[in-house]
């Protein structure tokens, strides 16, 4: 991919992502607070293709087969309209917290971006329970 063509060095840091989460080796941190996600669905503006991934944009001036997932399906149904780089589609009233599993348990670690420039400046949050979706 074009992003990788200009990468001069293979990342050599000690916090490169992804990592293998070995839950048996993890250590409970009583200082971690429950993870809360709070978005106003009416602030959802667009879904767009940046050439490498799709992103859902929110107005932020206020600073295995599973179950059918209606809200995720809304997102998937919009993807054909952003097939090409720099395409944008209106995408209103979407609350990403609906994609989060009910189980409150999670891991967190300091890692890196997974695309260039691979900066080691990311705090990753991995939910213990996966989000189940069907293959349709």
pLDDT of residue 9: 57
Q: Give the DSSP H/E element, type plus range, for residue 77.
A: helix 70-78
Helical segments of 39-134, H only: 70-78
**Averaged pLDDT, 35-44:** 79
At 104, the pLDDT band (50, 70, 90 cuts) reads confident
Model confidence at 66: pLDDT above 70: no
Of the ranges 18-22, 50-54, 60-64, 110-114, the best mean pLDDT one: 110-114
Provide the total of helices (H) and of strands (E) in the chain, helices listed first.
Answer: 2, 5
Dihedral sign (CA 109, 112, 113, 114): negative
pLDDT of residue 23: 82
Q: What tokens does 89 get?
A: 């589609």
Model confidence at 60: pLDDT above 70: no
């Amino acid at each position: 991919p074009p992003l990788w063509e200009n990468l001069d060095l293979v990342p050599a840091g000690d916090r490169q992502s992804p990592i293998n989460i070995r839950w048996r080796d993890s250590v409970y941190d009583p200082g971690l607070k429950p993870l809360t996600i709070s978005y106003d669905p009416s602030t959802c503006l667009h879904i767009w293709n940046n050439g490498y991934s799709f992103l859902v944009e929110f107005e932020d001036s206020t600073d295995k087969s599973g179950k059918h997932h209606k809200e995720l399906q809304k997102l998937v149904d919009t993807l054909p309209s952003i097939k090409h780089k720099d395409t944008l589609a209106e995408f209103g009233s979407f609350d990403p917290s609906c994609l989060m599993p009910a189980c409150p348990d999670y891991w967190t670690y300091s890692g890196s971006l997974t695309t260039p420039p691979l900066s080691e400046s990311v705090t990753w949050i991995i939910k213990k329970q996966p989000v189940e979706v069907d293959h349709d």
